[in-house]
Chain A
Amino acid sequence: KAGVTQTPRYLIKTRGQQVTLSCSPISGHRSVSWYQQTPGQGLQFLFEYFSETQRNKGNFPGRFSGRQFSNSRSEMNVSTLELGDSALYLCASSLATGGFYEQYFGPGTRLTVT
């Protein structure tokens, strides 16, 4: 079974631009969670989608948004990029929502904002 894939793997953007990252979950997985990892803050939860609905949202500004499609693929969007948005963005998929389902992580998208 193919793992979680994320595209693109690397991205360089300028302050003020917007960016869209994509995540394809493992086949059959219906939940996709997004995380931000920075050296200072470590890993932080952004949001979770299950069956095309946002289930949970972390403590991030409204510039961070996402969606999930009927095939469970998910995208996240960051508008009006700031230097502090430079980070590794990871998505993880699981069979369903909730803490009893193991999450499988993708390789991440490394975003650099200049």
Chain B
Amino acid sequence: KNEVEQSPQNLTAQEGEFITINCSYSVGISALHWLQQHPGGGIVSLFMLSSGKKKHGRLIATINIQEKHSSLHITASHPRDSAVYICAVYPSGSQGNLIFGKGTKLSVKP
């Protein structure tokens, strides 16, 4: 079983829809990251959070440390939001580094 599980794996939405991507993890963490990867490979860090909720424009990320769960929401989705969204966690008390989910491929249709 992967330490970081994302759902859904693939998601197709119509422009304007509200989108939710979920991430569950099984290890204790220092922080959780949401990343966006466009075709071509470039990765952009969207959020880094260790508690509560963060908002940036149309993007909202929440985390529940007790339940080991995080969600990424996109309000009023747009075709330019089409990308792969990756959840990654930084384990606490370890000498490791980021552990990644498999990603959620989002396609927003006009």
Chain B interface main SS type: strand
How many pairs, one residue from A and one from B, have CB atoms within 8 Å of each other in the complex? Answer: 59
Asked if B95 and A105 sit within 8 Å, CB to CB, the answer is no
Does A61 lie at the interface of the complex (its beta carbon under 8 Å from any beta carbon of B)? Answer: no
> Please, what's the 1-or-0 string for A56-98, where 1 marks a CB less than 8 Å from any CB in chain B?
1010000000000000000000000000000010101000001
Asked if B50 and A102 sit within 8 Å, CB to CB, the answer is no
Interface window among B17-25, B41-49, B57-65: B41-49
Interface window among A12-20, A21-29, A40-48: A40-48
Shortest CB-to-CB span from A33 to chain B, Å, is 6
How long is the Cα–Cα vector from A90 to B103 in the complex, in angstroms? Answer: 16
How long is the Cα–Cα vector from A42 to B30 in the complex, in angstroms? Answer: 22
Shortest CB-to-CB span from A4 to chain B, Å, is 10
Shortest CB-to-CB span from A92 to chain B, Å, is 8
Asked if A42 and B48 sit within 8 Å, CB to CB, the answer is no
Does B33 lie at the interface of the complex (its beta carbon under 8 Å from any beta carbon of A)? Answer: yes
Residues of chain B touching chain A, judged by Cβ–Cβ distance below 8 Å, are: 29-31, 33, 35, 40-45, 48, 50, 86, 88, 90-92, 95-103
Residues of chain A touching chain B, judged by Cβ–Cβ distance below 8 Å, are: 33, 35, 37, 42-45, 48, 55-56, 58, 88, 90, 92, 98-100, 102-105, 107-108, 110
Identify 4 new A-B residue pairs, CB closer than 8 A, beyond the known A88-B41, A103-B45.
A42-B100, A43-B100, A98-B30, A98-B90
